[in-house]
Structure 1
Amino acid sequence: MMELRLRAWLARCLPWSRAANALRAPLTLGVRLFLADVFFRAGMTKLADWDVTLALFTDEYQVPVLPPMLAALLATACEILLPMLLSLGLATRLAALGLFALNLMAVISYPAMPEIARQFHVYWGMLLALLLAYGGGGWSVDRFLLRRLHP
């Protein structure tokens, strides 16, 4: 209730807030599709040469706790499945959380990562945090289902 009053007050006081709300759906869709593309391509690269992927997880990446084979399998599965959910905006926050954790683990487990690559991971992490905070936006299956469940 308090949030609705605050939004109404902002709409009256800040004329640009309506424009910002109108842009939220397409911008959120763009962020979802961009991130889905980044992570899906990484997953497809891992699948393209599984022997190299296993070698990287065995020799280069220092994933804590998990054996290299399991870490490679989980990372690849997450990079293939979660972007699909993200693209649709289905379970957006869950998919963003999974990719955020995967992204963080990539930074932690690869100490030799070049600085430019680390900066990309920070950028992707910030975009994933945005999706965690705001959800899939107006053009998502999540929003469609929410409207169907609570008309």
Structure 2
Amino acid sequence: MSEPAASHTHTGGPVTVRGLIKCFVGICGTTPHWLLAIIARVSIATVFWKSAQTKVDGFTIKDSTFFLFENEYNVPLLPPEFAAYMATVAEHVFPVLLIIGFASRFSALALLGMTMVIQLFVYPNAWPVHILWVMALAYIIGRGPGPIALDHLIAKRHS
């Protein structure tokens, strides 16, 4: 027999840790997908957009960006200059797509690939931060961008 859903109101009995946890789980279980999707999209887009902005001055990639890709980042297989261009473009394009909710799953997958490269080859000790990125990106990939997204409007129009 399963337990009934947690109540969000206090019943008058003593407050216990177990009761608080049950209440918290009940509230989390009722959080709508649209809200979680927006939080995931905006939070991860902000991370990558801010990173992109450190790489440019106006519409020009900074010399320091090329220096980092040549001397600090150990991106395999790609020439450093090409990797600098690719990362800069990706960090500008995919966050915008996530914010507007267009090609959201593809954008999240691309940023997940970038996150894996960063984790494995650039900053391997930063996994506590990167795992949070992975969770937000995995949510978008798995559940989609939610109803407040261009993807949703396009899918609705073509169904």
Same fold, TM-score > 0.5, yes or no: yes
Normalised TM-score (structure 1): 0.80
In 2, the alpha carbon distance for the partners of 1:15 and 1:143 equals: 31
Sequence identity (%): 32
The answer for unaligned runs of 5 or more in structure 2 is 8-25
Q: Cα deviation per residue 1:35-68 (whole Å; 9 max; x = unaligned)?
A: 1111011011111461111111001111111000
Match of 1:126 in 2: 135
Alpha carbon RMSD of aligned pairs, Å?
2.3
Q: Pairwise mapping of residues 56-71 of structure 1 onto structure 2 (< 5 A)?
A: 56-71=68-83
Normalised TM-score (structure 2): 0.76
Q: Pairwise mapping of residues 2-151 of structure 1 onto structure 2 (< 5 A)?
A: 20=29, 23-48=32-57, 50-110=62-122, 113=123, 115=125, 117-150=126-159
Does the 8 Å contact 2:45/2:98 carry over to 1? Answer: yes
Name the structure where helix makes up a greater proportion of residues.
Answer: 1
Q: Which amino acid aligns with 2:99?
A: S
Q: Which amino acid aligns with 2:117?
A: M
In 2, the alpha carbon distance for the partners of 1:145 and 1:39 equals: 25
> How many positions carry a matched residue from both structures?
134
User: Which ranges of 4 or more aligned residues in structure 1 deviate by more than 2 Å?
Assistant: 13-17, 19-22
The answer for unaligned runs of 5 or more in structure 1 is 1-12
Between structure 1 and structure 2, the one with the greater Rg is 2
